[in-house]
Amino acid sequence: MSTPTPTAKLTLEQISADIDQMPSVPDVIMRLSRMLEDPNVTAEELGNVIQLDTKLTAQLLKISNSAYYGLNRKIMSMKEAVAILGMKALKSLIYAILSSKMLMADLQGYGQLDGALWLNALTGATYAKHLAKYYSYPEPDTAFTASILRDLGKIVLNNHVQVGFEAIEAEAMEKRIGFQQAEEAILGFSHMQLGEHIAIKWKFPERLVNTIRYHHTPSDAPKDMSKNDKLLLAIVHLSDGLSMMMGAGVGSDGLMYPMDITYLNECGIETDARSVEALIDFTMDLESEIKILADSIKHK
Amino acid sequence: MMMAQPLAAGIQLLDETSQKNIAKAVELSVGQFDVSNKRTNLFKVNTITSGLVLVLYDGVAGIGGVAYMMLPDSDYIEGEDANPADDHGKPAKFANKAVSLVWEKMENMGAKPANTVARLIGGSQLFTFGGGGGNPLNLGSRNAIACRTLLSRLGIIVDKTEVGGNRPRNIIFSLLKGDCLVSIRGGREFLL
């Protein structure tokens, strides 16, 4: 990691060096990430590639057989798992496993310790999956994935935020701007921009790069996105906001983030008081699902 | 499910007996409520954001109650009361139910409205720039208004509030003297 200083802004070279020091993504994940975007890939082909990574295979089988899916038969092979759970569900699990190791990190800078970032990620992801169904987004598993990955950039920016926290907070409160915008003003980069660099480096599909890059500021996203990609971004933005409102794994940056009501409304998501309260009511009932999922992905 | 936050230095603001008993503090999660008439008991709630915690204390009888609510009114949510028995283990989710639930239990133990004070903590919110015409995300103030109305009908005064802002809060409530320690994440700690 580059040495954080309270005054100097980060350069692109510094953050690239920081990102290079992150644990590398196994080749198999990179291959899978590309395969999962390819509509012509068969279940058998997918199962064959997953099997190359024994640890990933073991984890996927463990989750497939956990209470999360509540299947009444035991899944013994990757091929069976692909066939029964479906490629899209499997994809979201692969991303969840990949990100869990990194998101379990203690983030002193953001005041997210003891798995708080991971709890926040899982909570948002579970909300996003259900919101996708509610708002007729065709790929709920993609919404899960996009939401779980949204704060990847925090892992790299954490050290710098730790040093600059007071200045960032003061900037946000004085100028009435979001914490992410204050990060950019003080440190030179926001955790959204860092996340974007990580996502590009790891060759994530473009729509995931966009949801990571714009999850706090959806109105800044490219205007030429498809209607579905816009809705996906709205769902990730909303899932993030709801998980903060519920207090799930929230850090010292607290709720110092903007909610883009206009963007949500443009995507058909109503935000009057009654609708917001109904959403909160709905998300509260997902707590047990989140707990079951967290337990099934637990390492060791 | 909620992850523990490190105990803050602010525990020194509590009396020595409460400090000793702090490890035994009963933790409440959102939608839960509890009461006690044992002065050595403590309650705690961590990472309160948009939800609202009501702390009730009858200092004469030494009876305390805590309810952690998230929404003001179950009647406002369509279909919510279709199956009232199924509260998903969160009986105190709505202020309109939580206040009477916690007060009935306290009253059964011997608490009197005239000796009881109420404190409200929570209700932090996201930024909504511009917008105008009221903030639909400002659940905290809607919850607080609902609570105040219900408590005034019971003849209970809201003594102090720590509501609003953008930070998560933790609280520890000790029944010994009725102290309520508030820790604002990354910020100050004080007895409310």
Contact B71 A276 (CB under 8 A): no
- Gap from B109 CA to chain A (nearest CA, Å): 30
Contact B50 A245 (CB under 8 A): yes
**Domain boundaries, given as residue ranges, for chain B:** 9-191
DSSP, collapsed to helix, strand or coil, labels residue B53 as: strand
Proportion of chain A above pLDDT 90, given as a percent: 39
Question: Residue A97 falls within a domain, yes or no?
Answer: yes
Contact B168 A276 (CB under 8 A): no
Q: Which of A16-20, A177-181, B50-54, B75-79 has the lowest mean pLDDT?
A: B75-79
- The mean pLDDT of A18-39, rounded to a whole number, is 74
When divided into structural domains, chain A yields a total of 1
Confidence of residue A96 (pLDDT cuts 50, 70, 90): confident
Residue A8 CB neighbours (<10 A):
12
For residue A233, the model assigns a pLDDT of: 97
CA pair distance A48, A78, nearest whole angstrom = 8
For residue A190, the model assigns a pLDDT of: 93
Question: Residue A5 falls within a domain, yes or no?
Answer: no
- Structural tokens at position A19: 């990102």
Residue A114 CB neighbours (<10 A):
14
CA pair distance A92, B52, nearest whole angstrom = 34
Residues of A in contact with B97 (CB under 8 A): none
Residues of A in contact with B136 (CB under 8 A): 261, 271-273, 275-276
- Partner-chain residue, chosen from A259, A274, A285, that has the shortest CB–CB distance to B88: A285
Give me the domain span that covers residue A54.
12-297
Residue showing tokens 């954001």 = B49
Contact A258 B4 (CB under 8 A): no
**Chain A from 73 to 112: CB within 8 A of any B CB:** 111
Nearest-CA neighbor of B38 among B14, B61, B13? Answer: B61
- Partner-chain residue, chosen from B80, B126, B134, that has the shortest CB–CB distance to A241: B126
CA pair distance A102, B48, nearest whole angstrom = 26
Q: In whole angstroms, how far apart are CA B18 and each of A34, B15, B178?
A: 57, 5, 10
Question: Residue A50 falls within a domain, yes or no?
Answer: yes
Asked if A166 reaches chain B (Cβ–Cβ under 8 Å), the answer is: no
Q: How many contacts does A have with B, using Cβ atoms within 8 A?
A: 130
- The mean pLDDT of A133-158, rounded to a whole number, is 92
- Partner-chain residue, chosen from A258, A275, A284, that has the shortest CB–CB distance to B70: A284
- Partner-chain residue, chosen from A244, A272, A288, that has the shortest CB–CB distance to B126: A244
pLDDT, mean over chain A: 86
Contact A241 B3 (CB under 8 A): no
ipTM: 0.88
For residue A68, the model assigns a pLDDT of: 82
- Structural tokens at position A31: 């291959």
Question: Residue A76 falls within a domain, yes or no?
Answer: yes
What is the chain B residue with the closest CA to A290?
Answer: B1
Confidence of residue A296 (pLDDT cuts 50, 70, 90): confident
- b/e code B106-138 from CB counts within 10 Å (16+ = b): bbebebebeebebbbbbbbbbbbeeeeeebbbb
- The mean pLDDT of A144-165, rounded to a whole number, is 89
Question: Residue A74 falls within a domain, yes or no?
Answer: yes
- Gap from A125 CA to chain B (nearest CA, Å): 16
Instruction: Quick: pLDDT tens for A231-289.
Output: 999 999 999 999 999 999 998 898 999 999 999 999 999 988 889 999 999 999 898 88
The CATH number of residue A249's host domain is 1.10.3210.10
Phi, psi (5° rounding) for residue B42?
-135, 150
Contact B127 A119 (CB under 8 A): no
* pLDDT higher than threshold 80 for residue A6: no
- Structural tokens at position B3: 């992850």
Question: Residue A175 falls within a domain, yes or no?
Answer: yes
Nearest-CA neighbor of A220 among A193, A245, A199, A248? Answer: A193
For residue B1, the model assigns a pLDDT of: 36
CATH number assigned to the domain with residue range B9-191, chosen from the 4 options 3.20.20.70, 3.30.1330.200, 3.40.50.300, 3.90.1150.10: 3.30.1330.200
Contact A256 B166 (CB under 8 A): yes
Confidence of residue A7 (pLDDT cuts 50, 70, 90): low
For residue A13, the model assigns a pLDDT of: 80
- Gap from B166 CA to chain A (nearest CA, Å): 5
Asked if A113 reaches chain B (Cβ–Cβ under 8 Å), the answer is: yes
- Partner-chain residue, chosen from A169, A277, A291, that has the shortest CB–CB distance to B1: A291
* pLDDT higher than threshold 90 for residue A297: no
- Residues of chain B falling short of pLDDT 70: 1-8, 78-86, 129-134
- Gap from B111 CA to chain A (nearest CA, Å): 31
* pLDDT higher than threshold 80 for residue A81: yes
Provide the sign of the torsion angle of the four alpha carbons A131, A133, A139, A141, taken in this order.
positive
Q: Are B28 and B66 in contact (CB under 8 A)?
A: yes
Question: Residue A96 falls within a domain, yes or no?
Answer: yes
